[in-house]
Structure formats: structure tokens, C-alpha cells
Amino acid sequence: MPKKMFFNIKEDKRNMFLDVAVEEFTTKSFEQVSVNTIIKKANISRGSFYTYFDDLEALFNYIIKEVINNRFEYAKKLLQNCNGDYFLFIKSLFEYDFDSYSTSGKYSLFRNYIHYIQSSKKSSLKDAIIAKSLLGLIENNDIKSVFNFDELKINEQEFIDLLEIVVILMINTFLKSENENLSKKETIRLFNKRLSFIEYGVRKENIE
């Protein structure tokens, strides 16, 4: 997390520093980002960097936390209107994400963060992001009070596994959209098609 000094500098200088850092963490993996590159582009000294953050890891986690917190505010509003329908919630959130992040490369940032969690921290996406996200998104962490588990026919632990799969699917679809320059309509259609395999199964008929 940032040190107190970070919030004492002028807002425009703070935002410029963060813009540089976001660009670095978006276009490079965590292992490739260096303090030297950030301070050179931000035009600050190495000493200044370490008065703001302990290290690159603290900076990266702060950036991700800020992005996720902003997303939470909209997600909370969606929860109130989804009537317990998890897949309706995810489809609506995906469209919001496209409008918010498709031009900023934020999903490359998320991809790099997942790589960082799995390779550098030796942790799982579920433990590092999903479980913590639920604590912030759902009051009292009472998932069953929000989503209809009977309709989904899964238990709470299986639901958390489902969240992990869907997060990866969302990021993968956005990256494909970026790489292939897909339109919003094409991207949403692709995501909904992929999501339908989870919602309805590949084999849609009941097999005796």
C-alpha cells in the first residue's frame, strides 16, 4: 500500500505517476517491470519512489485494488437488479466492463495480475481475488442471500469455483477482442456464447 508521503504530493503529479505505472504493468508482466523505467518515465528520483511505496509489489497491488474498488460500486447496483440470476448479473457486468475498460487495456492489466498471483505468489485466483471480492461485494458474505443456489444446483464452494472460471473467461474474451479488434456487439455475442456452455452445458439434452 502507499506510504503517507504519496498522498502529500500534488494530485496531478500523483496521477501522472500512477498512469505511468499502470501502463508498465499493463504492457509488461510483473517480472519485466522495473523501478528504473517507472521513475524515468514519471521524471522522479529513485528516492521519491521509495517514499511512495515500499516496492513494486506494493505499487502493483494498490493499482489493482483501486481498479477493483471502482468496479465494485457498479457491481453492487447490478446485484440489486439481478433477482438472484447469476448469469444475468455476469452478462450485465461484462457489458459494463467493455464500456469501461476496452479502450484502456485494463484487461491486459488483469491478465498480468493473474500471472503474478500464480507465478510469483504461488497462489490461486480463487484465494487471492475471488474470496476477497465476495467479502467486499456481498454484505456479511452471505452469498445465498443474493444468488439462487437452488436454481444453480450447486453449493457455496462450487459457486466460488464457478466465479473463478467465469473471471478467467471474461478476461480471455476481452483479450481476444483486443487482439482481433472485435466490435462491442461481436465481443458480447462471443462472451454470451462461451458463457452458455457453462450455463446450459455442452450437451443440452438430458442424458439418461
The per-residue pLDDT for 154 is 83
Under DSSP, is residue 99 helix (H, G, I), strand (E, B) or coil?
helix
Domain span at residue 179 reads 4-200
Is 98 inside any structural domain?
Answer: yes
Is 208 inside any structural domain?
Answer: no
Is 38 inside any structural domain?
Answer: yes
Is 58 inside any structural domain?
Answer: yes
Rounded to the nearest angstrom, the gap between the alpha carbon of residue 131 and the centroid of all alpha carbons in its chain is 13
Helices 86-101 and 106-115: crossing angle, nearest 10°? 110
* CATH number of the domain encompassing residue 18: 1.10.357.10
Q: How far apart are CA 82 and CA 192, in angstroms?
A: 16
Q: Which is nearest to 136 in space by CA: 90, 68, 84?
A: 68
Does the pLDDT value for residue 5 go beyond 60?
Answer: yes
What's the burial of 17, exposed, middle or buried (CB within 10 Å: 0-12/13-18/19+)?
buried
The per-residue pLDDT for 139 is 53
The string of pLDDT tens digits covering residues 47-106 is 999 999 999 999 999 998 888 777 777 777 787 788 878 899 899 989 988 888 776 667
C-alpha cell at 68: 477493483
Is 205 inside any structural domain?
Answer: no
* Among 40-44, 90-94, 138-142, 179-183, the range of highest mean pLDDT: 40-44
What's the burial of 97, exposed, middle or buried (CB within 10 Å: 0-12/13-18/19+)?
buried
* Among 119-133, 137-151, 167-181, 187-201, the range of highest mean pLDDT: 187-201
The string of pLDDT tens digits covering residues 107-131 is 788 788 888 887 877 766 666 666 5
Q: How many CB atoms lie within 10 A of CB 183?
A: 11
Please work out, in degrees rounded to the nearest 5, the angle formed at the alpha carbon of residue 144 by the alpha carbons of 140 and 150.
175
Q: Which is nearest to 184 in space by CA: 67, 89, 108, 97?
A: 97
Is 207 inside any structural domain?
Answer: no
Q: Which is nearest to 89 in space by CA: 105, 107, 76, 103?
A: 76
Question: How confident is residue 207, by pLDDT bands cut at 50, 70 and 90?
Answer: very low
Q: How far apart are CA 14 and CA 68, in angstroms?
A: 19
Number of helices and strands (H, E) in the chain? 11, 0
C-alpha cell at 186: 461481436
The string of pLDDT tens digits covering residues 10-44 is 999 999 999 999 999 999 999 999 999 999 999 99
The pTM is what? Answer: 0.72
Is 149 inside any structural domain?
Answer: yes
Mean pLDDT of the chain: 83
Counting the structural domains of the chain, the total is 1
Is 206 inside any structural domain?
Answer: no
Residue, of 205 and 56, whose pLDDT is higher: 56
